[in-house]
Amino acid sequence: MSGYGIEDLVYILPIVFLLVWALVLVLVEAFTKRPDVTMLLAAFGLLAAVTLSVIQFGTEATAFKEMLTVDGYAVFVYMLVLASGLLSLGLAYDYNRRMGWARGEYYILMLFSIAGAMLMASAANLIVVFLALELLSIPLYVMAAFVPNDASSEEAGLKYFLLGAFAGGFVLYGVALIYGATGATNLMDVVAAALGTNSPVMLLTGAALILVGLGFKVALVPFHMWTPDVYQGAPTPVTAYMAVVAKAGGFAALFRVFIAAFPSVSADLTPVIATLVVLTLVVGNVAALAQKNIKRMLAYSSISHAGFLMMAFVTYGSALYADAVTSLLFYLLAFTVTSFGSWAVVIALEKAEGKGLDFEDYAGLGKKYPMLSAAMLVFLLSFAGVPPTLGFAGKFFLFRTVLEAGYAWLAIVGVIMSLVSAFYYLRVVRFMYFEQGDPEVRSEPVLNLVTAITVVGTIFLFLFSGPLLAWASEAVLALI
Amino acid sequence: MVAIEYYVILSAILFTLGIVGVLIRRNAIVIFMSIELMLNSANLAFIAFARQYNELNGQVFVFFVMTVAAAEVAVGLALMVTIFRTKHSIDVDQLSSLKG
Amino acid sequence: MLLREAAATNYFNLVPWVVFFPVLGILINLLVGGRLREKMIGVIASLAVAASFAVAVLLALSLNDQHAGTIIAFMNLEWISIGDLHIDWAFRVDTLSVTMMLAVSGVGTLIHIYAIAYMHADVRHHQDPTRYRRFFVFFNLFIVMMMILVSADNYLMLFVGWEGVGLCSYLLIGFWYDKGKGGANHLDGISNALAGKKAFITNRIGDFGFLIATFLMFGAFGSLQFDTVFTKAPFASQGTILAITLFMLLGVAGKSAQLPLYVWLPDAMAGPTPVSALIHAATMVTAGVYLVARSHELYALSSQAQNIVALVGGLTALFAATIAVGQFDIKKLLAYSTISQLGFMVAAVGMGAIVAGIFHLVTHAFFKALLFLSAGSVIQGVEAGHHAMEHGSIKESKHKRGEHLNEGGEFDAQDMRNMGGLSRRMPVTFVVYLVGALALAGIFPLAGFWSKDEILAEALHLHPAVFVLLIIAAFFTAFYMTRQIWMIFFSKPRSRPAEYARENSLLLTLPLILLAVLSVFGGALNLPFWHTLTHWLDYTLAEGAKVGSFNYLVAGLSTVLALAAIALGIFLYGKRYQAQAKLPAAQRPVDPVQPYLRGAFTGIQHKWWIDEFYDWLILRRYVALSRFLSYRFEERFWHDWLHDNAIAGSFRQTAHFLAQPVDLGIIDGIANGLGTISQRFASWIRRAQNGFVRSYATWVLAGMVIILGYLILR
Amino acid sequence: MDANLIVFIILAVVAVGSALGMLLNKNAVYSALFLILNFATVAVLYIILGAPFIAMTQVTVYAGAIMVLFLFVIMLLGAEELAGATKIDWQKPAAVVLGVLLLAELIVVIFFRETVFAEFAELTDFGSPAQIGRVLFNEYLLPFEITAFLLLAAMIGAIVIARRVRQSPSKRES
């Protein structure tokens, strides 16, 4: 009757499974009240979803009346955020127990949020983009404020919530204007309608509003200002989670929407995007230089990485957009692995909620915990883009794409800014290796596992940049 | 019948007022109400455009927006209640310990 | 699309990493090495080279599927573009270059590991542990340069590596630049700094030749890219080819220590033993052989050039082998042996027997590295004995009468006359040394047997005169190795330190054992009837590698000669040496062979007065000339500037510059003191980040307004 | 002047006025009441625009339920008025200037857009519950399902935040 078939569900099986699994976990948590059980089940659910995504690879289809597109691009992001979810579970498990507020709902909310990010990567309709954004964000607001009776965590939660809802309003109004300009919210119909007009200022305004709203989510300057505060105040595993998954979801949607729906206005938007990139790179990196708290420093560093990711975006309207998406996905992968690793080290050193997070607390780490500090060194080098790390490969491919597109000046800005970034990363190295101190680290099995996986990934995956890049480039083909 | 532009301009005015409300009020709850006003103005635009295009899609979107608003209200008010318990105030200007 | 290409399925595009990994090792050691434990520095350096080796293995595996290999332009960068000259920064991956990469990084890794332990003792022996890091930085730098050399796709890049390895060699020979024996031009040894200088100047002469050859090539062919040069070469005149190849030969003679430019290599033994093993035996000195092999298409065009190269190689092989017989310094003997073996290789590639030459290059890298490292082990064992004796643990008469002292009047731990009977005190070293010696002597079935016989067999039908030279040299080889083995390991200790010598740690001996295994089985690379290496290199060599038939006559002859030489050696250095040692000093011959050779032995012992000849021919003329021109200038330049600034100064400056500012200065300076602009900017950003949620929202709105304003007004 | 236009202008003035009232009133309770008025006015506009069902929902769900929740929380916390003054003086002028600029830009955009709207036809039975339901459950089934999960997630989140076990500090340490 309705024109839906079982295949609609099958196409988005990873998401469907994850959401249903979250429902099951709600019941499990309600009846067992065992956070560790919920965590294990959540991990299982994520693994199952990864498996389903692997099976999904190669699918090219639209589902639910063109509300969703399932293609290589979407599945790449699925795997990325699902893997991020697994790593986040690893980070949160020990931390939450150590801090004494382990609750099963945490993992359930995370599953909802991951489903939101996956929907963002697949969304082929602006209204779905908006809803998915909310599904991604609302659990995040709660998770940021998860620490009971902690002023910082609650402040972070409220700040994130108010600004997030504010930015959500921009996205929504943008969708409304695009609907007004084209009579459609479906990406295909929008692009078809947009092609008929030669200077669609209302469409442009709508696109700009969406850019602002999603730019807020991925922390582009000047919409970034929540980032350092929220990253600092939120519990560290949540920070690690949102630094990656919110970015991945935001960028995934941003790219799909802009490449699929707004290619006709790319000439107008590209200068805006380039300006945002430069602002983001400069502000993120320069502000990071002045930080003394590692969480704030990493927050600014993640802002600067948003700038790098956005860099690929300047080519979105040209024939090189496929290369741009490839570099974006690859850089996102590199950022994910490195970011989780560095946060794992931060968590290992965090004594109590909010304690042990200053650079001084890292003094003497190199002597006392050579393995941990070596891991941190690898992550920082990867952040800075030094070979042989994944971060280097990411930057390399990215800059090359930008150069190919004729934005040599932008690539130069990028290179200069990655040099600047080396200074604040190396400051941490200096504290770890050249300062005297007596840091205290808890060795927790799951956390160590995450550190080990990410450090191996940072270097090992680098050696397989070629095949990974090939994978990412295949992921691109079915975007539109 | 009044031209659709007027409705859209009214919605733009309400949208702007919502934004200004977020910027000038210190009370977190009023800020949140201003955000509701922003969403509401978008709803008005959706309904106006739906009338213009003679299709119900725009009206359906309003449903979704209302749901989102309800969800945000649930979480937002809960957050504010907690903050109030800890800080005995919902003045956002007093929530500025995280900075720099 | 470019990104697609980068994602090819083979590993060829990893080739820049054979260079980058050691670079990374250098960077890590420079940046944080000062704070690391000493061993970690060595481990990092070794890992860097091991990673390089791993990449080389991957390349070899890829080549196994795609024999043709490829040329990988690094980042698609055009390196130099002046006028008609376009040179890419390109890496050449083919069977020849990968074979060299494997040999360099494989042997390099083992020697690095050895050096971890060796240099630990050595820096303490020389009382300056701070140079430990410097050593590994230079050592890694050498690998970088050597890899650039072998992976080059054009003569200019090859030249960069060529110069680079020369520089490293020179830096490492003079590693203990402020130490060393006595004054200049002493008969048996010169000061370390001077040895470095000697190597530098001699190599300059060779490099000058190579450079001229490069210019000629560019003039004649308009390119320096290998393939282009080889394609155009057949159309050039005979004279051009001959000039190019002979100037190139000068470069080869300099780098690979051939007549007449071999004189620097024995003195280069002033460097630490791992340096001797890696640079002056296994890898750098074979660069000349590689160059000829790489350019074989040019040499093939000129039979005169081939003839000359083969003769130079053959003469060097014999000449150096005779000198080796008269050496008492354990490392110098090996140095002359290296020169001789390089002569074998040069003769082989000169004759056009490229595969035989490369085959011997690889096996030689195994067993000569083994011999040098074992010699280092012996030296440290004897030094340890000397140390134990001097520092109280043994209270006996300080020196045994008749001990051989060096010029400074100190006990000489490298003099074989001070050794003897070490087989019991250092069993592992003895066994591996014996393996290395037998491999070098060419005893069946060790690696040297197969490779040397292949050269001899090729020589027999390609160039009979060279064959004669080589087979006599082979005889001498077996003889001097027997002499050495006997003097070091058998009979009774001839000095007190030798009595108290002791075996070294496993870290030191493990690479020896591995190299010994390679020396035993290395011949499997190209066994007769299988010809693995021949087929492998066949993909690269232009006219194809000839599968030589195994010549039983040659094999039999050389084996018989080697066994005869060994027997003679045992006869002379066994009982007889022991008996002579008991004679009073006046009646005792300098060496057991001296009575038989008489005057000739004096010649051998004085290395046929070549150094003196050069001194007279070049230096005296030169000094007279320079005195005539300006005594002060000469003195200033050669002594003050070159020695103090170029050697000592460059050490100090480089180490200082690299260590201090990087460790503390730069990073701190920039992060703490940030340029005023960025600091002001940063503090401004920090002020804007005021913690008020409403002001954050204002920024969002401001951004929105500006973007919309732009879009409307555009 | 067209009667429709007069009605529209009156409603628009009420809507903007109530929005301004919400904005400027110091007392949060009055702000909430003004917002309810605003929502109700907008609901009338919905009816004019052929969306009677949405208008109903607007009144019942938005004005009726959500805003009552707001009022409830304000009363519960006793947060009608805030003491003290703001610490950021330039916030208000900046907000007003930027707001005016944004509004000007939006108006320019709306008037100078290229898509020219046709006169729209009168429709019968437009926006009835049945039609909305048909569109909602045909075209927009997936977004509908997403909102279901959204509400569930928000519910869990609200419960997690609001119903925390109050732990004593000593218990947290252990």
pLDDT at A195: 77
When mean pLDDT is compared across A177-186, A194-203, B34-43, C81-90, the lowest value belongs to C81-90
Does A295 reach chain C within 8 Å, measured CB to CB?
Answer: no
| pLDDT of C625 above 70 | no
Q: How confident is the model at residue C220 (pLDDT cuts 50, 70, 90)?
A: confident
Q: Where is pLDDT greater, at D61 or C126?
A: D61
User: Which of C690, C694, C709 lies at the smallest CB-CB distance from D105?
Assistant: C709
Q: What pLDDT does A128 receive? A: 95
Q: What are the tens digits of pLDDT across the range C366-421?
A: 999 899 888 888 888 888 888 777 665 444 444 444 556 554 456 677 787 778 77
Q: CA A479 → CA A170, A412, B91, C201, C692, distances in Å?
A: 25, 29, 46, 63, 40
> Which of B18, B87, B99 is nearest residue A169 as measured by Cβ atoms?
B18
The sign of the torsion formed by the CA atoms of A7, A13, A15, A16 equals positive
pLDDT class for C53, splitting at 50, 70, 90?
A: very high
Q: What is the mean pLDDT of residues B16-35?
A: 93
First to last CA, chain A: 29
pLDDT at residue C86, as a whole number: 63
| Of B27-31, C190-194, C221-225, C513-517, minimum mean pLDDT range | C190-194
Q: Counting runs of H as helices and runs of E as strands, what totals does chain D give? A: 8, 0
Q: In which band, very low, low, confident or very high, does the pLDDT at A199 lie, cut at 50, 70 and 90?
A: low
Residue C1: list chain A partners with CB under 8 A. 322-323, 473
Amino acid identity, residue C162?
A: W
C17 contact residues in A (CB cutoff 8 A): 388
pLDDT higher than threshold 70 for residue C587: no
Instruction: Work out the percent of chain C whose per-residue pLDDT is above 70.
Output: 74
Residues of A in contact with B75 (CB under 8 A): 138, 141-142, 161
Question: Would you place residue C624 in the very low, low, confident or very high pLDDT band (cuts 50, 70, 90)?
Answer: low
Q: A181 vs D113: CB contact, 8 Å cut-off?
A: yes
Cross-strand partners of C88: C78
Mean pLDDT of C214-224: 80
Q: Do D51 and B74 touch (CB under 8 A)?
A: no
B98 part of contact set with chain C, CB < 8 Å: yes
Are C24 and A158 a contacting pair at CB < 8 A?
no
The DSSP secondary structure of C41-106, one letter per residue, reads HHHHHHHHHHHHHHHHHHHHHHHHH-TT-EEEEEEEEEEEEETTEEEEEEEEESHHHHHHHHHHHH
For the stretch C135-149, pLDDT in tens is 888 888 899 989 989
Share of chain B above pLDDT 90, in %: 64
**For residue B96, what is the nearest residue in chain D, using CA coordinates?**
D87
Answer yes or no: is pLDDT of A384 > 80.
Answer: yes
Long-range contacts of A465-471 (CB under 8 A, 24+ apart): A465/A330, A465/A390, A465/A393, A465/A397, A466/C6, A466/C7, A466/C8, A466/C9, A466/C13, A467/C7, A467/C9, A468/A330, A468/A333, A469/A326, A469/A330, A469/A393, A469/A397, A469/C3, A469/C6, A469/C7, A470/C4, A470/C7, A471/A76
Q: Find out whether A479 and A259 touch, Cβ atoms under 8 Å.
A: yes
DSSP codes, A352-381:
STT-S-BGGGGTTHHHH-HHHHHHHHHHHH
Interface test mutation site (partner D, options C692, C705, C712, C714, max chain D beta carbons within 10 A)? C705
For chain A, the helix, strand and coil percentages under 3-state DSSP, each to the nearest 5: 80, 0, 20
pLDDT at C617: 59
Show the tokens assigned to C145.
């340069």
Does the pLDDT value for residue A89 go beyond 90?
yes
Give the per-residue pLDDT at A428: 86
Read off the pLDDT of each residue in D13-38 and give the average, rounded to a whole number. 92
Q: Specify the CATH number of the domain B4-94.
A: 1.10.287.3510
Optimal mutation site among D105, D108, D110, interface C, most CBs of chain C within 10 A:
D105
Residue D88 to residue C705, Cβ atoms within 8 A: no
Which one, of C22, C32, C17, C54, lies nearest residue C658 by Cα? C32
So where are chain B's domains?
A: 4-94
Over residues C73-87, the mean pLDDT reads: 54
Range with the largest mean pLDDT of A30-44, A378-392, C203-217: A30-44
pLDDT score recorded for residue D173: 38
Residue A169: per-residue pLDDT: 96
The set of long-range contacts for C3-8, using a CB threshold of 8 Å and a minimum separation of 24, is C3/A323, C3/A326, C3/A327, C3/A397, C3/A400, C3/A401, C3/A469, C3/A473, C4/A470, C4/A473, C6/A397, C6/A466, C6/A469, C7/A466, C7/A467, C7/A469, C7/A470, C7/A473, C8/A466
Q: Looking at beta carbons, which residues of chain B come within 8 Å of C708?
A: none
User: D114-123: string of b/e by CB count within 10 Å (b at 16+)?
Assistant: ebebeeeeee
Q: How many CA atoms lie within 13 A of C495 on its CB side?
A: 27
For chain D, give the percent of residues with pLDDT over 70.
86
Phi first, then psi: give them for residue B27, nearest 5 degrees.
-75, 120
Q: What is the pLDDT of residue C595?
A: 63
List D residues 94-113 in contact with C (Cβ-Cβ < 8 A): 94-95, 98-99, 101-102, 105-106, 108-109
- By the 8 A CB rule, do D144 and B79 touch? no
pLDDT score at C544: 57
Task: Choose among B19, B42, B64: nearest Cβ to A176.
Answer: B42
Residues in B closer than 8 angstroms to A155, CB to CB, are: 83, 95, 97-98
CB within 8 Å: B45 and A138: no
Residues 238-267 of A with CB under 8 A from C: none
Query: Which region among A118-132, C363-377, C402-416, D68-82 has the lowest average model confidence (pLDDT)?
Result: C402-416
Residues facing residue A70 across a β-bridge: A61
Task: Return left, alpha or beta for A100; rule: phi > 0 is left, psi -120 to 50 is alpha, else beta.
Answer: left
- CB-based contact A197 D115, cutoff 8 Å: yes
Interface of A with B in 207-266 (CB under 8 A): 228-230, 232-233
pLDDT at A248: 95
Residue contact D154–B74, C-beta within 8 A:
yes
Angle of helix C552-573 relative to helix C447-462, nearest 10 degrees, comes to: 120
* Angle, helix C38-65 to helix C95-125, in steps of 10 degrees: 170
Q: CA–CA separation, C372 vs C114, rounded Å?
A: 11
Is the pLDDT confidence value at A197 over 70?
Answer: no
pLDDT of C569 reads: 80
- B38 and A169 in contact by Cβ < 8 A? yes
* ipTM greater than 0.90: yes
Inter-residue long-range contacts of A408-417, CB under 8 Å, 24+ positions, other chains counted: A410/A274, A410/A277, A410/A278, A410/A311, A410/A314, A413/A277, A413/A278, A413/A281, A413/A282, A414/A281, A414/A308, A414/A311, A417/A281, A417/A282, A417/A285, A417/A304, A417/A307
The distance of A105 to chain C (nearest Cα, Å) reads 28
pLDDT tier at A157, thresholds 50, 70, 90: very high
pTM: 0.64
Q: Which pLDDT score, from 0 to 100, does residue C660 have?
A: 40
Contact C708 D88 (CB under 8 A): no
Point out the residue among D115, D142, D157 whose CB comes nearest to the CB of A202.
D115
- CB count within 10 Å of CB C510 equals 15
Stretch C195-220: mean pLDDT: 78
* Confidence class for position C593, pLDDT limits 50, 70, 90: low
According to DSSP, the β-strands at A68-70 and A61-63 are antiparallel
Cis (ω within 30 of 0) for the bond into D52? Answer: no
- Minimal Cα–Cα distance from D94 to chain C, Å? 8
Tell me the C-alpha distance between C314 and C308, whole Å.
10
What pLDDT digit, counting tens, does each position of C644-680 carry? 444 444 444 444 443 343 444 444 454 454 456 677 7
Residue A73 near residue A479, CB atoms below 8 Å: yes
| Pairwise CB contact (< 8 Å): D86 & B68 | no
* Exposed / middle / buried, residue D20 (Cβ in 10 Å: 0-12, 13-18, 19+): middle
Higher pLDDT, C698 or C238: C698
Distance CA C592, CA C581 (A): 10
Q: Cα dist. C52→B22, C68, C138 in Å?
A: 59, 22, 16
Is C596's pLDDT higher than 80? Answer: no
Q: C519 vs C646, which has greater pLDDT?
A: C519
Which residues in chain C touch residue B97, judged by CB atoms under 8 angstroms apart? 691
Higher pLDDT pick, A120 / A385: A120
pLDDT at D77: 86
- Mean pLDDT over A332-360 rounds to 89
Contacts of A280 (CB under 8 A, 6+ apart): A219, A220, A221, A224, A303, A304, A306, A307, A310
| Confidence band of C597 (pLDDT split at 50, 70, 90) | low
Judging contacts by C-beta atoms under 8 Å, the chain B residues touching residue C698 are: 23
Q: Using a pLDDT cut of 90, give the percent of chain C over it.
A: 6
The minimal CB distance from D91 to the residues C698, C705, C708 is found for C698
Least confident of A101-110, A436-445, C538-547: C538-547
Write out the two tokens for C656.
């200082």
What mean pLDDT value characterizes chain C?
Answer: 76
Average pLDDT, chain A: 88
What stretches of D16-142 adopt beta strand conformation (E)? Answer: none
| Pairing, β A68-70 against β C70-82 | unpaired
Q: Sort strands C70-82 and C85-93 into parallel, antiparallel or unpaired.
A: antiparallel
Nearest-CA distance from B91 to chain A in Å?
11
In this predicted structure, the answer to whether residue A454 has a pLDDT above a threshold of 60 is yes
Average pLDDT along chain D: 84
* pLDDT tens digits, one per residue of C154-180: 888 888 888 888 878 877 887 776 665
Helices (H), C490-620: 496-499, 506-521, 532-538, 552-573, 575-581, 594-597, 599-605, 610-614
Q: How far is C682 from chain B (nearest CA, A)?
A: 10
Closest to C206 measured CA to CA, from C165, C261, C155, C152 = C261
- Interface touch D98/C701, C-beta < 8 Å: yes
Q: Which chain D residues contact residue B39 at CB under 8 A?
A: none
Percent of chain D with pLDDT over 90: 39
